[in-house]
Amino acid sequence: MDFLKLDNLVPLDLISKIFERMELNNYAKNHLLHERGAICEHIYLIQKGLARTFFYKDGKDITVHLASEGEIITAVDSIISLKKSRYNVELLEDSEVFSISYADLQHLLSQHPEYEKYVRLVLERMYTEGADRIEEFLFFSAKERYNNLVKTRPQLIQRVNLGHIASYLGMTQETLSRIRKAP
């Protein structure tokens, strides 16, 4: 989700108030913004760089979300429920990352309830993107999923290692290599 393209949905004064509460940090490649087994308390906005959300299953690391400049990332299974997360959030490049605590965002919304509508719109977009990913896995072939990624987010192919891309697309690295070599 491209947060910076939401200014047609979200009033600039709300964006300004959120950014006033955000902290900007620089992190090195491979830094974990969030580690599985902990409660995630922050929402992150990638200013510069690239991040992924992933979990382990049967000894394999499975990438479920990729975020680049202007996109939000967090351990979604934990942030709202305040339960320990099964996800890690890792930076794939040296990155500049804004963060805001969920508690701080909730405090802002309690002071300005008129903004809750806009946060709902952001969440609706995130939900729609998640539903689209589920639909891809249910109805699209591996080749169609790869072609869709190339069409919608071509920059990721150049920036993310093929193992993470294959995992994100729900296929082995060997299958991804065959798809990439096919005419």
Q: Which two tokens stand for residue 86?
A: 């099964």
Are the C-beta atoms of 72 and 22 separated by less than 8 Å?
no
Evaluate whether residue 13 is within a structural domain. yes
Q: Which of 121, 119, 144 is nearest to 132 (CA)?
A: 144
Query: Does the pTM exceed 0.75?
Result: yes
Evaluate whether residue 33 is within a structural domain. yes
Judged by average pLDDT, the poorest of 14-18, 23-27, 74-78 is: 14-18
- The CATH number for 71's domain is 2.60.120.10
The parent domain of residue 32 ranges over 3-111
pLDDT tens digit sequence for 45-83: 999 999 999 999 999 999 999 999 999 999 988 988 899
Edge-to-edge order in the sheet of strand 88-91: 32-34, 88-91, 50-57, 60-68
Evaluate whether residue 48 is within a structural domain. yes
pLDDT tens digit sequence for 115-153: 888 888 877 888 888 899 999 999 999 999 999 999 999
Evaluate whether residue 130 is within a structural domain. no
Evaluate whether residue 153 is within a structural domain. no
* Backbone dihedral angles phi then psi of residue 97, each to the nearest 5 degrees: -130, 125
Taking the C-alpha atoms of residue 60 and residue 48, their distance in angstroms, rounded to an integer, is 28
Evaluate whether residue 149 is within a structural domain. no
* Crossing angle of the two packed helices 116-139 and 102-111, in degrees rounded to 10: 130
Evaluate whether residue 169 is within a structural domain. no
How many structural domains does the chain have? 1
Question: H or E element: which one contains 92?
Answer: none
In the chain, alpha helices (H): 12-21, 76-79, 102-111, 116-139, 142-152, 154-159, 162-169, 173-181
Evaluate whether residue 144 is within a structural domain. no
In 36-141, alpha helices (H): 76-79, 102-111, 116-139
The pLDDT confidence band at residue 6, using thresholds 50, 70 and 90, is low
